[in-house]
Amino acid sequence: MVNKMYKVTSSKEMKVGSKHNQILMSIVLCMPILAYGTAMGWISPHKALLMSDASPSGTSLSEEDVSWMASIMFIFAPIAVFLYGVAADKFGRRRALQCVTLPIVLGWAVKLACAHPVALICARALIGFGSGGGFVVVPLYVKEISEDSIRGMTGTFVIFSQTVGNLFVFILGDQFPFNTVLWILLAIPLVHFCILLRLPETPSFLIKCGKNEETAKVLSWLRSLPPDDIQIKEEIDRLIIEQTTCDPKFSPKLLFSDKTAVKAFWVALIVNLTREFCGCIAVLVYASHIFKEAGKDEGTSIALSPNKQSILLAAVQIIGSFVACQLVDRAGRKPLLAVTSVLAGFSMCLLGVWFYLQSISVFMPGWVPIVALCVCIFADASGLQPLPFVIMTEMFSFQLRGTVATLIMAISLGTDFALLKLFAPLNDTIGYHSTFWIFSIICLSNVFYLIFCVPETKMRSLEDIYADLEGRNKSKKVKESNENNA
Instruction: Quick: pLDDT tens for 197-223.
Output: 888 988 888 888 888 888 888 888 888
Please give the model's pTM, rounded to 2 decimal places: 0.72
Whether the predicted pLDDT of 294 surpasses 90:
no
Domain ranges of the chain: 18-199+246-469
State the amino acid at position 321 in one-letter form: S
pLDDT tens-digit profile of 442-462? Answer: 999 989 998 888 888 877 778
- Assign 437 a pLDDT band (cuts: 50, 70, 90): very high
pLDDT in tens, 18-65: 788 888 998 999 999 999 889 888 887 888 888 888 888 888 888 788
Query: Which band of pLDDT confidence, cut at 50, 70 and 90, is reported for residue 478?
Result: very low
**Residue 366: CB partners within 8 Å, gap ≥ 6?**
294, 295, 297, 300, 301, 302
Residue 5 is predicted with a pLDDT of 45
Task: Please report which confidence band the pLDDT of residue 480 belongs to, taking 50, 70 and 90 as the band edges.
Answer: low
pLDDT grade, residue 284 (50/70/90)? Answer: low
Q: What pLDDT does 59 receive? A: 82
- Tell me, which fold does domain 18-199+246-469 have in CATH? Growth Hormone; Chain: A; (1.20.1250)
Return the pLDDT at 108: 94
Q: Is the pLDDT of residue 7 over 70?
A: no
Helix axes 212-223, 230-245, angle to 10 degrees: 130
| High-pLDDT (> 90) share of the chain, % | 14
Residue 383 has a pLDDT of 84
- Would you state the pLDDT for residue 8? 44
